[in-house]
Structures are given as C-alpha cells and as structure tokens.
Structure 1
Amino acid sequence: MSLLNIQNVLLKAEKPLFWVGAFTMASLVLWLIYKLLSGFRIWVLGNEQLINPKVGKWAVVTGATDGIGKSYAEELARRGFAIVLISRSQDKLVDVATALEEQFKVETQTIAVDFGRTDIYHKIEAGLAGLEIGVLVNNVGVCYPYPEYYNHIADLDSFITNMMNVNIASVCHMTRLVLPRMIERSKGVILNMSSASGMYPVPLLTLYSATKAFVDFFSRGLQEEYRDRGIIIQSVLPFFVATKMAGIRKPTMDKPTPGRYVAAQLATVGLQSQTNGYFPHAVMGWVSTSLIPSSVATVLAAKLNRLQRTRYLNKMIARAQQADGLKTE
C-alpha cells in the first residue's frame, strides 16, 4: 500500500476516531462525577436519620459486651432504642445493660447464650417473643488466636465447629428469628458483620476468611430477595478496628475506635448494601479489590500473616523459656 493510500485511510478514520475518543472521555468524566457525588452522598451527607425507633422499638445486638458490639448497643441506645443484649457472659451482660439504662434511660433485656452451640435458639426465640424489633446487629464472631496453617490449628475439629456455629449459623438463625416480623411490618434493618477478610481469600486465616465471605454473600443475596419488602439487609466489611479481638490498643486514622466506626457505619445504612462502613476503610477496600488483583492481594496477605505467625510463635517460645528459667532458679 502506497504512502498516499495510507494517508487517505487515516484521513477517513480521523473523524470516527475523534468521536470514539470524545465519547470515551465524556464517559470517564461522567463516571468520575457520579462516583464523586455518590461518595459525597455516602461519606459526607450520610443517612444519619434512618436508624431510629420508627423502624421498631427494639434493637438486638449479638456479641454485645465488648468491642464493636458494645459500641452498637451504646449508639443505638443513644438514638432511643430499647436494647436486647445477647452474649455469653451474664455478668458482662448485666454490667452493659445497667450502664445503658443509667446513661440513656432505655429499657434493656439480656439473653446469655454461647453461640458456639446450636441448641440455643429456642431460648433466644422465647426472649424475643412479642418484641417489635427494628434493628438486628449480627455482630458476634470469633477469629484465629494468631495466623496459622489450617492443619496446624490446635483441636481442629472443635475449632471448625465453633467457628462455623458462631460466624455462620448465628447469622442465619438470628435472621430467621427476626425477619418474618419485619416483613409483616414492612420495615426493619439487619446489619451483618462480615470483614474485609471476606473480600478475598486470606491464607493462614483461611477458615475465618471463608466464613466472613459467606456472611457477605448471604447478606447481599437476602437484600435482593427482600428489597421490595421494606427491609434493609446490609453487609458490613470493616478492616482493622481498635478492639480486643483485633489486638489493637491504640486507635489511628485507619484503625478507629469501635465507637467512631459504628457512628460512621450507621450513616451508610440505606445507601450501600455492601459497605466497609468507614471512609478510610472504603478507600482501602477499593484499592485492594479494584486496583490490586485478587491473586496478588491473597499472596500479600499470606506473606503478612506468615510474618505475624513467626512473631507470635517466637514470642510464645521466649515466654516459655523465661518461665522455665524462673522455675529452675
């Protein structure tokens, strides 16, 4: 093909290519504007007024005596909800219930059960009978004591059963108990605490990661089922929060206190069916799922957890050696 012919072809293609480029740029600009406006709506304006006793007098919180669960109970009580606290320790439940009644002047009820068991739901059902439940926070959960290879986990059979019961069965059963009455009233909010660890596989926390992925899928599926029935079901996927379970004592910008996290998360209800709940976590979630391939994120998580495992085991060895030294003196 001669140079003249090539020039003619390029001249003919110039105008279509210009419009293709213009359309692409316009689409990108519109997409960016939409994302910025959506982000402003979620993270600046929020939906602060949605969660109030108009959706139902009572809020039910599982795992309510520590960390994020306790902060949910406090924030919902501050908003005027009567609170049902469900956790394992009756003493801790009484302490939290007393504090809520004194500080926020709300009614409380407590139900002491071990979510590691499956024969507890008749007791919970009896405790919830007759209550107008507007909000359910499925917060109870267990994690690994430290990152570990699956076949090296101590008492693996019991570990599997406990984690499946606490992290998965509790969400399914608690939802089963409250959802029918929410549907009858065409209003209600269910917040299911997943984890950023459920956004992609996290080796050495593999079972935990998988259970939290289940919670995320379960929540999003149910939201689509009941979207037109007036029910909000939200999957909540936090990164690290400064709690005892996470082993973080000092809060930072990306590791907020439970209270700060909960206040931010509740403002996203009704705006996102799947949320990281807190703006810095949302940025981290976008980077780790949109900019970094899942396979790369999994490899990086594995390297980090192997380092944490080594540090933990070395610490345990040093403590054992120190204890042996004290015994021989």
Structure 2
Amino acid sequence: MTLTEIIFILAGTCTVMLFGVKLICLVMVLAPKICYPLPESFMTSLGKWAVITGGSDGIGRAYAQELSKYGMNVVIISRNQEKLDRAARTIELATGVQVKVIAADFTKDNIYGHIMECIEGLDIGILVNNVGILPSQIPCRLLETADLEERMYDVINCNVKAMVKMCNIVLPGMKERGRGAVLNVSSGIAKIPCPLYTLYAASKVFVERFSQGLQAEYRSKGIIIQTVAPFGVSTSMTFHQKPDLVTFSAEDFVRSSLKYLRAGDQTYGSITHTILGWIMQAIPTWVLRSEAFQDNFEEYVKERIRR
C-alpha cells in the first residue's frame, strides 16, 4: 500500500467519523428527554430559589415564569421597577410561588452590595445571567456607534461584569451546599466572526469562555454551569420580530432550552438553533468578513426592523 493510498484511507476514515459524531449529536438534540432526562423534582432539588437578571422582560421573564412552574421561588432583577412589579404579580397569580424583585441597573457599578443584601440567606438553586444590551439597535461598524465611549462602558458592565459579579455572589452558597446550576445567556453569533455586532459578539464570546472555565473548576462540586446561545428570539432587543421557523417566542425558547440543562457546558437551546449554528460555522470566514456580506446584512436587518 502506497503512502498516497494510506493518506486517502485516513482522510476517508476521519470524514466518516466526523459525520458519525455529527449524526450522534443530532440524535441527542432531537431527543433531549431521552438523552438528558430531568426528574420532575430536579429543579427544586437544586434549591428553593432561582435568581434571574434581566428578569422583567423577554428571555429573563420567560425563565422566571418557567422555573416558577417547576415550583421554584424566583428573584427577578432589572432596572425598571414598574415592569418588575408587573412581572411579579403575573407569576405569583399564575403559580403561587414567592417572587422577590430587585431594581438595579447593571450598567452601573454600585448595585451589587444591595443585591447581596436582598438575596442573603436564600437557598439559591439556579442563577440565570440573562441581562445584556446591544451597543446599537441598528447593526453598524464600531466607529459609527453613537456615544461609543458610553456604550462601551455599558456593554462591558452589563454583558460581562454583571455575569462575573453575580457568579461571585451566588457560587459560594452553591459550593457550600454541593448543588446548583448557573445558566449564562450568550448568543449564537458568538460562534462566528460577526462584523457590525463586533462589540456585542465579543462580549458574548467572553460569556462562553468564562462559563467553560468555570464549569471545569466547579463540576466536581456538583454545580452545572452552562452557556445558552440562542439565535433569533422575539424580544424588545430584536424589535419583537414575529416568531417563525427560526425565531422563537421567549417562552418557547426557554421551555426548549431547559430540556438541555444536563446536555453539557454549551447548548443552542433548540433543535432549530443547533442546526443553524452548524450551518453558520460551516460558512467560510472570508464570506462573513467581506464588505458585500456586511452591506447586505445591514440592509437585511434594517428591512426586518422596518417590517
């Protein structure tokens, strides 16, 4: 057998194995209830309380609603007191659980002492680090961002620092009890180079890398730390786009993503977004970085917003 034949055989074997692994992953994504079963009491076995940042609206509110259906009391933290109170009343009436609200602006630095005081002594089983902001609602190049200095500060505080600080507050109790789960909400665009959302995407890459390292450090302590990386979800951040095959309502996405809580340190949270993630990562990076792609993508998003 010649060297060339050996190389072709090895290449073919590697290709078959790669597709085999992808097929197994797809099957596991298609059947989360079988592959990653969650006992009915699993959520409450982690603790009596769930803490959700950005919990007054969108994905955060959906997490609060869904976890309350599992019997967990919830703490929702956001900056708008009126929205917090409205969300709390809705959850309490629907499920009968306790709901605590904490008004805090995560773009600020001086909020964490107050948060710590409000949740001190609670048996926190789940922390959802969901709060996040875009530097600009309309995608644009970095230097075209209005009030760039202020927006840089806000994005880093809200998307990066808030997650680290909340972990620092909540993890010690989880470690002491030997149980708990931390869900850090990232974004599907963290998986690819994403011009026009450069600052936002970079902040979400931090979320992923931080979560992976933290899971390695605390897995042996009985703590689940997972990144949840959705693509399209209909929220105020996405101008409440009409749900379709790719874009989920916040409630449907959260309901789906919780099925993958035991699926490892990263999940797209749904079958559709997992397949979309594989497709996006298969696109050559030179395409994503090209001027033509950036111009067309910008026009596409503007058109979606106009509609």
User: What TM-score comes out, normalization by structure 1 length?
Assistant: 0.84
Q: Which moved more, 1:70-79 or 1:217-226?
A: 217-226
**Alignment equivalent of 1:254, drawn from 243, 246, 249:** 246
Contact 2:235-2:241 at 8 Å conserved across structures? yes
Distance 2:224 2:18 in 1: 26
Distance 2:112 2:293 in 1: 36
Contact 2:50-2:72 at 8 Å conserved across structures? yes
Distance 1:310 1:281 in 2: 22
Q: Does 1:38 align with 2:25?
A: yes
Q: Which moved more, 1:128-137 or 1:302-311?
A: 302-311
Distance 1:78 1:132 in 2: 18
Q: Which residue of 2 aligns with 1:270?
A: 262
Q: Which residue of 1 aligns with 2:127?
A: 136
Q: Which residue of 2 aligns with 1:294?
A: 285
**By how many angstroms is 1:39 displaced?**
2.6
Q: Which protein is bigger by CA-based radius of gyration?
A: 1
Q: Closer, same or farther in 2 for the Cα pair 1:136/1:310, shift >3 Å?
A: closer
**By how many angstroms is 1:237 displaced?**
1.2
Query: C-alpha root-mean-square deviation of aligned residues, in Å?
Result: 2.4
**Alignment equivalent of 1:210, drawn from 202, 210, 219:** 202
**By how many angstroms is 1:160 displaced?**
1.1
Can you list the C-alpha shifts for 1:35-85, whole angstroms capped at 9, x where unaligned? Answer: 333332333133352651101110011111111111111110011110001
Contact 2:63-2:254 at 8 Å conserved across structures? yes
Q: Does 1:307 align with 2:288?
A: no
Q: Does 1:90 align with 2:77?
A: no
Q: Does 1:100 align with 2:87?
A: no
Q: Secondary structure at the match of 1:101?
A: helix
Distance 2:97 2:37 in 1: 20
Q: Closer, same or farther in 2 for the Cα pair 1:157/1:312, shift >3 Å?
A: farther
**Alignment equivalent of 1:80, drawn from 71, 91, 99:** 71
User: Percent identity over the alignment?
Assistant: 35
**By how many angstroms is 1:23 displaced?**
6.7
Q: Secondary structure at the match of 1:245?
A: helix
**Alignment equivalent of 1:201, drawn from 163, 176, 193:** 193
Can you list the C-alpha shifts for 1:106-164, whole angstroms capped at 9, x where unaligned? Answer: 11111000011010000000111000111000001101221122222222211111111
Contact 1:134-1:188 at 8 Å conserved across structures? yes
Can you list the C-alpha shifts for 1:143-188, whole angstroms capped at 9, x where unaligned? Answer: 1221122222222211111111111110010011111111111111
Q: Which moved more, 1:291-300 or 1:50-59?
A: 291-300
Contact 2:133-2:155 at 8 Å conserved across structures? yes
**Alignment equivalent of 2:144, drawn from 148, 152, 166:** 152
Contact 2:32-2:260 at 8 Å conserved across structures? no
Q: Which moved more, 1:291-300 or 1:75-84?
A: 291-300
Can you list the C-alpha shifts for 1:204-246, whole angstroms capped at 9, x where unaligned? Answer: 2211111111111111111111122211111111111111211
Q: Which residue of 1 aligns with 2:113?
A: 122
Q: Secondary structure at the match of 1:280?
A: helix
Q: Which residue of 2 aligns with 1:111?
A: 102
Distance 1:309 1:76 in 2: 32
**By how many angstroms is 1:264 displaced?**
1.2
Q: Secondary structure at the match of 1:190?
A: strand
Q: Closer, same or farther in 2 for the Cα pair 1:27/1:151, shift >3 Å?
A: closer
Q: Closer, same or farther in 2 for the Cα pair 1:125/1:292, shift >3 Å?
A: same
Distance 2:63 2:289 in 1: 31
User: Counterpart of 1:240 in structure 2: which amino acid?
Assistant: G
Q: Which residue of 2 aligns with 1:242?
A: 234
Distance 1:110 1:310 in 2: 35
User: What TM-score comes out, normalization by structure 2 length?
Assistant: 0.89
Q: Does 1:168 align with 2:155?
A: no
Contact 1:223-1:232 at 8 Å conserved across structures? yes
Can you list the C-alpha shifts for 1:280-316, whole angstroms capped at 9, x where unaligned? Answer: 1111111111x22233233375234432577699x8x
**By how many angstroms is 1:26 displaced?**
5.8
User: Counterpart of 2:78 in structure 1: which amino acid?
Assistant: S
Q: Secondary structure at the match of 1:232?
A: strand
Distance 1:23 1:157 in 2: 52
Q: Secondary structure at the match of 1:191?
A: strand
**By how many angstroms is 1:94 displaced?**
1.1
**By how many angstroms is 1:27 displaced?**
5.6
Q: Does 1:188 align with 2:180?
A: yes
Distance 2:11 2:229 in 1: 33
Can you list the C-alpha shifts for 1:2-30, whole angstroms capped at 9, x where unaligned? Answer: xxxxxxxxxx659x94x876676566555
